[in-house]
Structure 1
Amino acid sequence: MRTLCASTLIGEFFVIGFAGLVAMKDPDLSMGTVWTVCGIAMLFSLLLCGVITRPGGVQLGWALQIGLIASGFAVPAMFFMGAVFAALWWASVHFGRKIDEAKARFAAMAEGQAEA
């Protein structure tokens, strides 16, 4: 699960940065505000890569997905991109858990065969 989720989070890191570049062109938003918010979100996505397997890591990931979708109020294209990454996040968590379960089953079978 960690690899799939981390890959999604790294993709989000870049998308947040590009959204910041787009948001800079909005005259109603100050450059300092844009880059403070984007910088925090980008740092959050990187830090999540390291804590994804700890308790609450997946829930923090969902919080980031909600934030990405909500950023559509500043950059309308982020409504779509946020939804795409929320779907990728769901798939990463769902299929990542299935892969982890399969790895555990194979490891247990290999251990059982080694004992015999």
Structure 2
Amino acid sequence: MAKLTKAQREWKPNTPKKLRSTRMMFASVVLMLEAFVALFLGLGLFGLKDKNPLFLVAAAVLAVLFIAACGVVRKPWGPAFGWVLQAALIAGGFWEPSMFVVGILFAAAWWYALYAGARIDRENVDRAKAQARWDSEHPDISGDGPAAAAK
């Protein structure tokens, strides 16, 4: 028999599903894409400039920071850390001018991920509260009452 996860062991029938943060998922996607951009920036600078391995090391460190930021984006200081990384990506424009445009576009995507994700999270919480209220007011229809048990 396969080993069960903690969530599987604790599951009971009619257990409400925990809401996942859309804000965190959107922000993580943007950060992961930026990690790839940072790597490609390092490769491009290494190939186009003077073959200095420092470009590769700096790009790898920046990419690791972007990936690490995915894990801390839910912390109170996580979005601020993301903004610092956005500034670092934009600063890549001093070595490769096209990165000014790419960095600003990713900063806009980061802002939108935080803004729209938070809005969707609020709407999901409101929807869950409304559903719980409706279920408590209509127990026979929602599957909690005696009529549902007779089915």
TM-score interval w.r.t. the shorter chain?
A: over 0.9
Which of 41, 46, 49 is residue 26 of structure 1 equivalent to?
Answer: 49
Of structures 1 and 2, the one scoring higher in RCO (CA 8 A, sep 6+) is 1
Is 1:93 the counterpart of 2:92? The answer is no
TM-score by length of 1: 0.93
Q: What residue identity is the alignment partner of 1:48?
A: A
Higher alpha-carbon Rg = 2
Q: Percent identity?
A: 30
CA shift, 1:98, in A, is 0.2
Task: Within 5 Å, give how 1:105-116 maps onto structure 2.
Answer: 105-116=126-137
For 2:98, the aligned partner's letter is: A
Name the SS for the 1:37 alignment partner. Answer: helix
TM alignment of 1:1-116, pairs within 5 A: 1-24=23-46, 25-27=48-50, 30-31=52-53, 33-116=54-137
Alignment: residue pair count: 114
Shift of 1:84: 0.5
Kindly report structure 1 stretches of 4+ aligned residues shifted beyond 2 Å.
none
TM-score normalised over the length of structure 2: 0.72
RMSD over aligned Cα atoms: 1.1
| 1:51 shift after superposition | 1.2
Unpaired runs of 5+ residues, structure 2, are 1-22, 138-151
Normalized per residue, the structure richer in helix is: 1
Structure 1 unaligned spans of 5+: none
